[in-house]
Amino acid sequence: MTTFSAMLTQNIAIKNDIKDALSMQQNMTGVKFDEYANIIRGALTKRWGIRIEKADSNPDTRVTYLYDAVGMTPAAMNYTSGEFEYGDWKPFCDAVNRPVMLLYNGTVDYELHRDDQTKKLDGVTASDVSNTAYGGNAMAEFKRLWLRTYEDATYQYIIFSNVQYDENYHANAFKDATGQIADKMYYAMFEGSNVNSKLRSIAAGAMMASQTAATEITYAEANGAGWHINYKSQRDFITYLLALICKSTNFQAVYGQGNSNSSAYIAPGALKNKGRFWGDDATDAAVKVFFIEHFWGNYWKRLSGLLYNDAAHILVKATPPYSLTGVGYTDTGITPTGTSGQYITAGTLTDAGFLPTTAGGSDSTHFADSLYYATPAAGAFNVALVGGSRVFAGGCGSWACSLSTAGGAGSSIGASLSFLKYAV
C-alpha cells in the first residue's frame, strides 16, 4: 500500500521534472546535459528537423528548419577567429554528446575535458587519451535520440525526437546485435591504430592501414563484446546531426576541409587538445566534429551496413550483426548512376540510411562530396568506404562514399571503432 509520504515524494519529483521542462521551453539555450534526462523521460517532447529540397543545388538554401529547430541560428566554424560558433546549438550538443574513456566492458570510466581531452573533466588531472596500456578507448558518446527519415517527390526529411514520437521514429544507431535499444552509443574519437592486434581509439601511434575488412573487424572485436568497426547507421546519425546544426549539406565549407589535399597523413591525436568542433579552410589540416577526428579526410574508413553486389545493387542493413557476404542485408535494387568519382547530386533517404545514387555535381553543390562505384566480380561484395582520403580535396566529406573496393587492403584505407551494447 502506497503511503501518503511516498505519494508526496513522488508528486514533488514529478513537479520538479515539469518545472525543469518548462524552464527549457522558455529558454532552450539554458539546457544542461544533466537536465536532459527530464526531457528524455517525456516531461516535454521535442523534435528538431530539417527539410532538404531536392531540386535546389545550393547546399545552404536547400535546407529548411522544421519543428523546434525553426528560428534557431545555425552553427559554423569561424575560420578567421579559429573558433567554432555554435549559434543556438551548444546546449543541444552538450546534451547529446560528450568525450569519455570507455573501458573494454563498456563502462564509462570517466569523462574527458570538453576543451582539452588530454585532461580529465576537472581540467587538471592528466587523462589516458594517449595511453596505449589503458584498458579501453577514447570514445565520443551520443545520447539516444529517435530518428525519422523519409522523402517525397520534392523533399527529403530528417527529424530527431527526444522520445519515440510515433511508430515511424526509430533508433537504429542504438540497437545492438540482440535487438535491444541502448540509451547511448559510442564512436571512436581517433582513427583506429593497431596495438597488440587490437584496433584502438587512442591518441598515439598511426592509423592501421593496408588490412582487409576481415582483419579490421577481427581486431576491432578483440576489444571485447559490443566492439566493432563503425556502423553505417551510427555514421548516418552523426551526419544527420551535422546537417541539422549547420543547416547545410556542404560540411567541408562549414566545419573544415579536413586533411583532403596534402602530401602526408596525420597521426591520431592531432586535435586532442581542441574542443568538440575544430576545422580549417586549409586542405592539409585535420577536422574534428563531435569530438571525432578525421570524420572525413586523411584515410578512407571502412564500415559495416552498406555493400555493393555483382548485380550493381546497393545492399543495406541498419543494425548488427553484420557480415561481409550480404547475409541479412536488404537488396535495395538501387544502382548508382552518373560518373564514378564525381560529386553526389542525389541520394535516396531511407529508414536504413542515406544511399548516394547519382554522381555528377561539384564540390559546392548538392551534397558536395564524391561517390565512387564499380561492380565487383561475380559472387563478390564491395564493402563501403566513407569520408575520403588525403588526396580527394573537395571530394572528401561526411557524405563521401566509395563502393569500388571489394573488401581488399589499401594504403589509404583503414577503420575506426564503435561500441554498442545494451545495459552494460
At residue 19, does pLDDT exceed 70? no
Q: What is the pLDDT of residues 76-131, one digit of tens each?
A: 999 999 999 999 999 999 999 999 999 999 999 999 999 999 999 999 999 999 99
Q: Of 16 and 145, which is predicted with more confidence?
A: 145
- Could you say which DSSP state residue 370 is in? B
d(CA 198, CA 179): 26
Looking at the whole model, is its pTM more than 0.75? Answer: yes
By C-alpha distance, which of 205, 363, 389, 194 is closest to 302? 389
Which pLDDT score is estimated for 44?
A: 86
- pLDDT-derived band at 299 (thresholds 50, 70, 90) equals very high
- Could you say which DSSP state residue 39 is in? H
d(CA 257, CA 255): 7
Determine the average pLDDT of the residues in 298-311: 97
Place of cell 563484446: 225
By C-alpha distance, which of 314, 101, 232, 47 is closest to 39? 47
Rg (C-alpha) for the chain, rounded Å, is: 21
Determine the average pLDDT of the residues in 45-68: 97
Q: What is the pLDDT of residues 317-371, one digit of tens each?
A: 999 999 999 999 999 999 999 999 999 999 999 999 999 999 999 999 999 999 9
Which pLDDT score is estimated for 38?
A: 59
Place of cell 565487383: 376
Which pLDDT score is estimated for 408?
A: 82
Asked if residues 228 and 187 have their Cβ atoms less than 8 Å apart, the reply is no
Which pLDDT score is estimated for 407?
A: 78
Which pLDDT score is estimated for 1?
A: 41
Determine the average pLDDT of the residues in 175-198: 97
- pLDDT-derived band at 405 (thresholds 50, 70, 90) equals confident
- Which one-letter amino acid corresponds to residue 283? T
d(CA 221, CA 229): 8
Which pLDDT score is estimated for 406?
A: 79
Is cis: bond before 336, omega within 30 of 0? no
The percent of residues in the chain predicted with pLDDT above 90, rounded, is 87
At residue 4, does pLDDT exceed 50? no
Average pLDDT, the chain: 91
Determine the average pLDDT of the residues in 234-248: 98
Q: What is the pLDDT of residues 249-291, one digit of tens each?
A: 999 999 999 999 999 999 999 999 999 999 999 999 999 999 9
Q: What is the pLDDT of residues 27-47, one digit of tens each?
A: 343 444 455 555 555 568 999
At residue 26, does pLDDT exceed 50? no
- pLDDT-derived band at 7 (thresholds 50, 70, 90) equals very low
By C-alpha distance, which of 285, 289, 286 is closest to 238? 289
Question: What is the bridge-based pairing of β-strands 413-415 and 300-308?
Answer: parallel
